[in-house]
Amino acid sequence: MDQKVRARLILKILESKFKIPRVSEVADDPFRTLVRTVISQSTADVNTRRAYVNLSRRVELTPKGLAEADINEIEKALFTAGLYRNKSRILKRLAKTIIQDFGGTLDFIYSEPLADVRRKLLSLPGVGPKTADIILLFCANRPVLPVDTHVNRVTKRLGFAPPDAGYEEVRMALQSLYSPQDYFKVHMLFISLGRSFCRARRPMHEECPVNNLCPSAHA
């Protein structure tokens, strides 16, 4: 079966199986989204939410508010998120850099050429490709498909990318299979599949809704 045909069939099945959140539920502001994404690194979702809420209650979540906040207040707020001291330092540096280099705003993500925007985001402390692409897709609806740990695992098990593929190779493979208007859906649905069935350990092949289209299920 042609890869694009199989990719479309998989997406259709996943759409019928899982709920897709609205973009507005995921990203209401690029800086806040950036803060939350940094907090989420190597952290369970429930602890990410708790730490983010704690931080928003203690500190004004703007570049200025975070840059001027007491580091101890930030650390207390992020305690549940793991690596809280490191994340607190990164967030303060991040806020200060946005003020110094970009006038205290991330509005450039909406209008500048995609390559330039991505390069600027990647220049920020603590911002890697996944974080940059989340900001671009969720907040500005730019045509990029972020690859988190679930998306990476699902993509490789479905045979859309080699087992040893790096971030960019996985991202480009997915972007070649799907239309830009589907990138958000693919990202969210692959995460849902990875959490529910295509787990890192003991994947539930027999129960998986796309097992008939997955080479790993029959390996």
Give phi and psi for 141, each to the nearest 5.
55, 40
Q: What is the pLDDT of residue 106?
A: 96
16 C-beta neighbours (distance < 10 Å), count: 8
The answer to whether 3-22+145-218 and 26-140 have equal CATH topology is no
Residue 27 reports pLDDT greater than 80: no
Q: What is the CATH number of domain 3-22+145-218?
A: 1.10.1670.10
In the chain, the amino acid numbered 96 is K
Contact 134, 116 (CB under 8 A): no
How far apart CA 204 and CA 208 sit, in angstroms, is 6
pTM over 0.85: yes
What is the third-level CATH fold of 26-140? Endonuclease III; domain 1 (1.10.340)
Local structure of residue 135 (DSSP, 8 states): I
| pLDDT confidence band for 22 (50 / 70 / 90) | confident
How far apart CA 66 and CA 125 sit, in angstroms, is 14
* Domain parsing of the chain, residue ranges: 3-22+145-218, 26-140
Which residue, chain included where needed, has tokens 């967030």? 91
| pLDDT confidence band for 150 (50 / 70 / 90) | very high
Comparing CA positions, the residue from 3, 14, 2, 9 lying closest to residue 161 is 3
How far apart CA 136 and CA 118 sit, in angstroms, is 8
46 C-beta neighbours (distance < 10 Å), count: 9
Residues in Cβ contact with 51 at an 8 Å cutoff, skipping those fewer than 6 apart? 39, 43, 77, 78, 79, 80, 81, 84
Cα separation values, 155 from 9, 27, 123, 131, 188, Å: 14, 24, 27, 18, 13
Local structure of residue 148 (DSSP, 8 states): -
Contact 216, 158 (CB under 8 A): yes
Q: What is the 3-state secondary structure (H, E, C) of 72-95?
A: HHHHHHHHHHCCHHHHHHHHHHHH
The residue-averaged pLDDT of 157-183 equals 97
| pLDDT confidence band for 25 (50 / 70 / 90) | low
